[in-house]
Amino acid sequence: MTTHHRRWPDERATDELRLYREFLQFLRRTAVTKVDGLRHALATAAPIATSPRMTALGVIKHLTAVERHWISNVGAGAALPSLWQGSPDPSWDLSDTDSPQAVIATYEAEWDRSADALAGKSAEDLAADGKRTIRWLLAHVTQETARHVGHLDLLRELADGEVGE
Protein backbone atom coordinates (compact mmCIF):
# COMPACT_ATOMS: atom_id res chain seq x y z
CA MET A 1 0.00 0.00 0.00
CA THR A 2 1.44 3.35 -1.04
CA THR A 3 1.13 6.03 1.60
CA HIS A 4 0.03 9.42 0.34
CA HIS A 5 1.33 12.31 2.38
CA ARG A 6 -1.33 13.35 4.85
CA ARG A 7 -0.98 16.10 7.36
CA TRP A 8 -3.34 16.95 10.18
CA PRO A 9 -4.65 20.52 10.03
CA ASP A 10 -3.03 23.11 12.26
CA GLU A 11 -4.33 22.57 15.79
CA ARG A 12 -4.14 26.29 16.51
CA ALA A 13 -5.81 27.32 13.28
CA THR A 14 -7.54 30.69 13.30
CA ASP A 15 -8.43 30.90 9.62
CA GLU A 16 -11.75 29.10 9.29
CA LEU A 17 -11.68 28.57 5.54
CA ARG A 18 -8.12 27.29 5.63
CA LEU A 19 -9.10 24.85 8.38
CA TYR A 20 -12.02 23.53 6.30
CA ARG A 21 -9.75 23.08 3.29
CA GLU A 22 -7.07 21.33 5.33
CA PHE A 23 -9.53 18.88 6.90
CA LEU A 24 -11.02 18.15 3.49
CA GLN A 25 -7.56 17.55 2.03
CA PHE A 26 -6.67 15.24 4.92
CA LEU A 27 -9.81 13.20 4.28
CA ARG A 28 -9.24 13.13 0.52
CA ARG A 29 -5.75 11.74 1.00
CA THR A 30 -7.08 9.21 3.50
CA ALA A 31 -9.65 8.03 0.94
CA VAL A 32 -6.99 7.62 -1.72
CA THR A 33 -4.71 5.75 0.67
CA LYS A 34 -7.52 3.28 1.38
CA VAL A 35 -7.75 2.36 -2.31
CA ASP A 36 -4.15 2.75 -3.40
CA GLY A 37 -2.37 -0.57 -3.70
CA LEU A 38 -5.50 -2.68 -4.10
CA ARG A 39 -5.50 -5.05 -7.04
CA HIS A 40 -8.28 -4.34 -9.55
CA ALA A 41 -10.33 -7.33 -8.42
CA LEU A 42 -10.28 -6.19 -4.79
CA ALA A 43 -10.89 -2.52 -5.62
CA THR A 44 -13.99 -3.48 -7.64
CA ALA A 45 -15.34 -6.11 -5.26
CA ALA A 46 -18.70 -5.46 -3.58
CA PRO A 47 -18.40 -7.53 -0.39
CA ILE A 48 -21.42 -6.11 1.43
CA ALA A 49 -24.52 -8.06 0.40
CA THR A 50 -26.94 -5.27 1.27
CA SER A 51 -24.94 -2.72 -0.77
CA PRO A 52 -24.12 -4.52 -4.03
CA ARG A 53 -22.92 -1.34 -5.77
CA MET A 54 -20.54 -0.27 -3.00
CA THR A 55 -16.95 -0.89 -4.05
CA ALA A 56 -13.76 0.91 -3.07
CA LEU A 57 -13.42 2.38 -6.57
CA GLY A 58 -17.11 3.23 -6.61
CA VAL A 59 -16.68 5.26 -3.42
CA ILE A 60 -13.85 7.26 -5.01
CA LYS A 61 -15.92 7.84 -8.16
CA HIS A 62 -18.83 9.00 -6.00
CA LEU A 63 -16.58 11.41 -4.07
CA THR A 64 -15.41 12.83 -7.39
CA ALA A 65 -19.04 13.45 -8.32
CA VAL A 66 -19.74 15.05 -4.93
CA GLU A 67 -16.87 17.52 -5.32
CA ARG A 68 -17.79 18.41 -8.87
CA HIS A 69 -21.45 19.01 -8.03
CA TRP A 70 -21.11 20.91 -4.77
CA ILE A 71 -17.91 22.87 -5.22
CA SER A 72 -17.55 23.51 -8.95
CA ASN A 73 -21.15 23.55 -10.13
CA VAL A 74 -23.10 24.80 -7.10
CA GLY A 75 -20.29 26.77 -5.47
CA ALA A 76 -18.69 28.39 -8.50
CA GLY A 77 -21.47 28.15 -11.06
CA ALA A 78 -19.55 25.96 -13.50
CA ALA A 79 -21.57 24.03 -16.05
CA LEU A 80 -19.57 20.82 -15.86
CA PRO A 81 -21.36 17.57 -16.70
CA SER A 82 -22.94 15.96 -13.66
CA LEU A 83 -21.39 12.65 -12.67
CA TRP A 84 -24.43 11.53 -10.73
CA GLN A 85 -27.35 12.45 -12.96
CA GLY A 86 -29.79 9.56 -12.95
CA SER A 87 -31.48 7.09 -10.71
CA PRO A 88 -30.04 5.10 -9.19
CA ASP A 89 -27.05 7.40 -8.76
CA PRO A 90 -24.61 6.29 -11.49
CA SER A 91 -21.54 7.76 -9.79
CA TRP A 92 -21.02 4.43 -8.02
CA ASP A 93 -20.95 2.45 -11.27
CA LEU A 94 -17.70 1.16 -12.71
CA SER A 95 -16.71 0.79 -16.34
CA ASP A 96 -14.32 -1.67 -17.91
CA THR A 97 -11.67 1.05 -18.11
CA ASP A 98 -11.80 1.98 -14.43
CA SER A 99 -8.57 1.05 -12.71
CA PRO A 100 -7.48 2.18 -9.26
CA GLN A 101 -4.86 4.45 -10.83
CA ALA A 102 -7.29 6.04 -13.32
CA VAL A 103 -10.07 6.60 -10.78
CA ILE A 104 -7.64 8.08 -8.24
CA ALA A 105 -6.13 10.36 -10.91
CA THR A 106 -9.60 11.62 -11.84
CA TYR A 107 -10.41 12.28 -8.18
CA GLU A 108 -7.14 14.15 -7.66
CA ALA A 109 -7.81 16.24 -10.78
CA GLU A 110 -11.16 17.19 -9.27
CA TRP A 111 -9.34 18.52 -6.19
CA ASP A 112 -7.50 20.96 -8.44
CA ARG A 113 -10.77 21.98 -10.10
CA SER A 114 -12.29 22.52 -6.64
CA ALA A 115 -9.35 24.69 -5.56
CA ASP A 116 -9.77 26.82 -8.68
CA ALA A 117 -13.52 27.08 -8.06
CA LEU A 118 -12.97 28.37 -4.53
CA ALA A 119 -10.06 30.68 -5.30
CA GLY A 120 -10.66 34.14 -3.89
CA LYS A 121 -13.81 33.16 -1.98
CA SER A 122 -14.31 33.62 1.74
CA ALA A 123 -16.30 31.41 4.10
CA GLU A 124 -19.22 33.84 4.27
CA ASP A 125 -19.49 34.35 0.49
CA LEU A 126 -22.58 32.91 -1.10
CA ALA A 127 -22.21 30.03 -3.51
CA ALA A 128 -23.12 30.75 -7.13
CA ASP A 129 -26.59 29.30 -6.51
CA GLY A 130 -27.21 32.10 -3.97
CA LYS A 131 -28.63 29.65 -1.43
CA ARG A 132 -25.65 28.53 0.61
CA THR A 133 -22.39 29.92 1.91
CA ILE A 134 -18.99 28.60 0.92
CA ARG A 135 -18.68 27.64 4.60
CA TRP A 136 -21.73 25.38 4.26
CA LEU A 137 -20.47 23.82 1.02
CA LEU A 138 -17.09 22.96 2.48
CA ALA A 139 -18.64 21.58 5.67
CA HIS A 140 -21.03 19.48 3.59
CA VAL A 141 -18.35 18.08 1.27
CA THR A 142 -16.11 17.39 4.28
CA GLN A 143 -18.82 15.46 6.14
CA GLU A 144 -19.70 13.52 2.98
CA THR A 145 -16.05 12.64 2.43
CA ALA A 146 -15.60 11.62 6.08
CA ARG A 147 -18.66 9.39 5.93
CA HIS A 148 -17.35 7.61 2.86
CA VAL A 149 -13.84 7.27 4.29
CA GLY A 150 -15.55 5.18 6.97
CA HIS A 151 -16.97 2.98 4.22
CA LEU A 152 -13.50 2.71 2.70
CA ASP A 153 -12.11 1.61 6.08
CA LEU A 154 -14.47 -1.34 6.06
CA LEU A 155 -14.03 -2.12 2.35
CA ARG A 156 -10.24 -2.14 2.67
CA GLU A 157 -10.32 -4.39 5.71
CA LEU A 158 -12.66 -6.81 3.93
CA ALA A 159 -10.48 -6.69 0.80
CA ASP A 160 -7.09 -7.52 2.24
CA GLY A 161 -7.17 -7.14 6.01
CA GLU A 162 -5.43 -3.74 5.96
CA VAL A 163 -6.55 -1.62 8.92
CA GLY A 164 -5.64 1.73 10.40
CA GLU A 165 -5.69 5.27 9.15
pLDDT one-digit tens code per residue, 29-53: 999 999 999 999 999 999 999 999 9
Question: CA 138, CA 114: separation in Å to the nearest integer?
Answer: 10
Q: How many CB atoms lie within 10 A of CB 89?
A: 13
Share of the chain above pLDDT 90, in %: 77
**159 pLDDT higher than 80:** yes
Domain map of the chain by residue range? 16-80+88-160
Question: Three-state SS for 53?
Answer: coil
**pLDDT score recorded for residue 10:** 65
Which class in CATH covers the domain with range 16-80+88-160? mainly alpha
**pLDDT score recorded for residue 2:** 43
pTM: 0.91
83-115 pLDDT, tens digit each: 888 888 899 999 988 999 999 999 999 999 999
